[in-house]
Structure 1
Amino acid sequence: MELGNKERSLVSKVMDGLIAGIVEERYGAVLPPQDILSKEFDVSRTVMREALSMLLARHMLDVRPKIGTRIRPMRDWRMIDEDVVNWRFRSKPDKTFLRDVIEFRGLIEPAACALAATRASAAEIAGIREAFEVLSQTSTDDPNFQTADALLHTRILAASGNQFYQQMAAIIRGALSLVNPILSTRDGGWNNVVAAHGRIVEAIERRAPKEAEAAALAMIEYTADELTRALAPEALEQR
């Protein structure tokens, strides 16, 4: 039976609630039975069943006989799905996940910047410059600083002309939402990141792909170094 608009809205609400419970580790390893969850969220079993099936399709849950609905490790979640990306980045980061995020960025962004320097149209380059100017004038005290940074990265990925890189924009935005708050607490960290963005933009404007790639790689390596220092045991003890 096809769900109506009201039911679909309820499904989305239930999914968001379930994700919150999962990332906050309120459920443990196995979800409660569907009838209990239906009462918890005050929805019908049909709505709950649909919400759970959506999470199953994203490799977030696993139904096993005599065990129930098991929560799968986050590393198994289908990260190509934008919703899953957003949910995954809501959980408390660990060092392994941060490492994986940096490695992913190191593979995608330098290559995308090089392609943007080669393929971007004049309008796309103007849009990249515009996004950078907004970013450079936005402080970390401004609630929009994350949005400004995400816009710049998204426009560069779009300007690469590579549809696979473009599809990775959600993961990059999620990565930025994770690392930027940490970088903003480092002495001079955010100013250095903005300056690094400027070097990338300038290289793209000059149609210098190798320089754009090198600048992006240098920025990501700097980010990795700062995150390592910020998360070192002695740094955590001082917090």
Structure 2
Amino acid sequence: MEQANKDRSLVSKVMDGLVTGIVEEKYGAILPPQDVLSKEFDVSRTVMREALSMLLARDMLDVRPKIGTRIRPMSDWRMIDEDVVNWRFRAKPDPLFLRDVIEFRILIEPRASAQAAARGSAADIAAIREAFDAFRAIRPGESGYQAADELFHARIVVASGNQFFKQMAAIIRGALSTVNPIVNQKDGMWEKAVSTHQRVVEAIERRDPKEAEIASLAMIDYTAEEIGSSFTSEPPVR
């Protein structure tokens, strides 16, 4: 059992290293042969083979005869997998990726906010308020700011009661970790973020699904506008 746990830990470590190399474009389009990678990571071929098979299962790699192990485009990666989500958000964001991130949030978060207002328990709503109070007590750049913002959004998704929305929480956290460093550089953004977040909280507390949905959409729209002013790309589609 101890050896099995050690092997699993080693496979995870190798997977993490491979993904880092991929998102940093260390390998190009084709991974080196397994024996070369095994030497690079100082692991057995068995461990390397298992690590590669895990990435294959997540649609991140493609094995082709006479070509080798090809790295698939990030758009093909299985984003529903939380590990894949976290790895994907390590890469430097590009305008199209940011567009897709905003469009995803537009689809999920406003509806989750409405459902939180309609069906969230008293404990759920109290947890959202608690997360908001923690968020507004911290300024961008201070320790804990990003975690507080992520917790606020995650608790709304949980309060929606929708099991599929809950599965999307990792993508929302990743989206926030990507867009916040961009928009937080702008003057007045923190004050605007607090006011838009507060509008969502108060609508949920009043049990007003329609206003909660509108408030959540307004919160995301403001972020989209700030992102759009930083990158040239197509606007998010609602």
TM-score range, shorter chain: over 0.9
**CA apart distance, 1:199:** 0.3
Asked if the contact 1:183–1:190 (Cα under 8 Å) also holds between the matched residues in 2, the reply is no
Give the TM-score normalised by the residue count of structure 1: 0.95
**CA apart distance, 1:109:** 0.3
How far apart are the structure 1 equivalents of 2:54 and 2:194? 38
**CA apart distance, 1:191:** 2.0
- Do residues 34 (structure 1) and 47 (structure 2) align? no
Partner of 2:72: 72
CA displacement, residues 197-235 of structure 1 (integer Å, 9 cap, x when unaligned): 1100000000000000000101111110000112249xx
How far apart are the structure 1 equivalents of 2:95 and 2:230? 11
Partner of 1:229: 229
Among the aligned pairs, what percent are the same residue?
Answer: 71
Asked if the contact 1:135–1:149 (Cα under 8 Å) also holds between the matched residues in 2, the reply is yes
Taking the TM superposition and a 5 Å limit, the aligned residue runs for 1:173-192 are 173-192=173-192
Asked if the contact 1:110–1:213 (Cα under 8 Å) also holds between the matched residues in 2, the reply is yes
Taking the TM superposition and a 5 Å limit, the aligned residue runs for 1:153-192 are 153-192=153-192
Asked if the contact 2:193–2:219 (Cα under 8 Å) also holds between the matched residues in 1, the reply is yes
Give the TM-score normalised by the residue count of structure 2: 0.95
Unaligned 5+ segments in structure 1 are 234-239
CA displacement, residues 20-61 of structure 1 (integer Å, 9 cap, x when unaligned): 000000000000000000000000001000000000000000
Displaced runs of 4 or more, over 4 A = none
How far apart are the structure 2 equivalents of 1:32 and 1:141? 39
Asked if the contact 1:33–1:68 (Cα under 8 Å) also holds between the matched residues in 2, the reply is yes
Asked if the contact 1:29–1:71 (Cα under 8 Å) also holds between the matched residues in 2, the reply is yes
SS at match of 1:29: coil
Write the letter of the residue equivalent to 1:70: R
Write the letter of the residue equivalent to 2:128: I
Asked if the contact 1:186–1:230 (Cα under 8 Å) also holds between the matched residues in 2, the reply is no
How far apart are the structure 2 equivalents of 1:180 and 1:74? 21
Asked if the contact 1:154–1:169 (Cα under 8 Å) also holds between the matched residues in 2, the reply is yes
Asked if the contact 1:74–1:88 (Cα under 8 Å) also holds between the matched residues in 2, the reply is yes
SS at match of 2:59: coil
Asked if the contact 1:23–1:91 (Cα under 8 Å) also holds between the matched residues in 2, the reply is yes
How far apart are the structure 2 equivalents of 1:96 and 1:194? 27
Aligned alpha-carbon RMSD (Å): 1.3
Write the letter of the residue equivalent to 1:69: T
Partner of 1:142: 142
Taking the TM superposition and a 5 Å limit, the aligned residue runs for 1:1-20 are 4-20=4-20
